[in-house]
Amino acid sequence: MRHKRGGIEMEGPDVPVAPMLDMAFQLLTFFVLTYRAAPVEGQFIMNLLPPQPATAMAAAATEPSATNELPASLRTLPVFLRADDQGRLAQVTISESDVTNDPKGLAEVLDYHLQDPDVPFDQTLIKVDPELRYSELMSIIDGFTDAFIRAKKEPKLSFDELRPGDGG
């Protein structure tokens, strides 16, 4: 290989590029074949405390916390989700009133509860039928998270098992 440097023609060593290119193409083929596009996964981050005994919850309901004037029970929006035989969402009860299952209707009710300045709700306890499909629960959690964001509040969600007699 000839190079011109400072007007002098110099003879340099011939570096064989072809083997390097072969190797590079082999590596490239390996990476192209093993590449798998990562799925776009998201997450809902929650602090889930274990369920408290009924006596402890009753005590907490009567005693105002140090940081808030209202006790936790009055700031918590109670939600009950019931499933049908197939595990699909059959009934949504929010604050003792039944709500339509469609996302738009749910969003309207949640906006009413969370955006009203006279209503003190800033967290939600969702009691869920154990037979309910996980995908149905996630769609409800999705709706609640959206509603909290629209109301400019930090989403505080927790859930527990729905027991017979809960929610009327």
Instruction: Identify which of 167, 92, 77, 81 has the alpha carbon closest to the alpha carbon of residue 122.
Output: 77
Please pick, from the candidates 17, 53, 97, 152, the single residue that binds another protein as defined by CB under 8 A: 17
**Least distance to another protein from the beta carbon of 50, Å?**
4
Q: From residue 111, how far is each of 77, 119, 143, 154 by CA, in Å?
A: 12, 11, 10, 14
Evaluate the CA torsion angle 112, 114, 120, 121 in order and state its sign: positive
Residues 93-122 that bind another protein (CB under 8 A): none
Q: Rounded CA gap, 67 and 127, in Å?
A: 26
Q: Which of 10, 25, 73, 105 binds another protein (CB under 8 A)?
A: 25
Sites for another protein among residues 36-55 (CB under 8 A): 36, 38-50
Q: Which residues bind another protein (CB under 8 A)?
A: 17-18, 20-21, 24-25, 27-28, 31-32, 34-36, 38-50, 87, 128-135, 137-139, 141-142, 145-146, 149, 159, 161
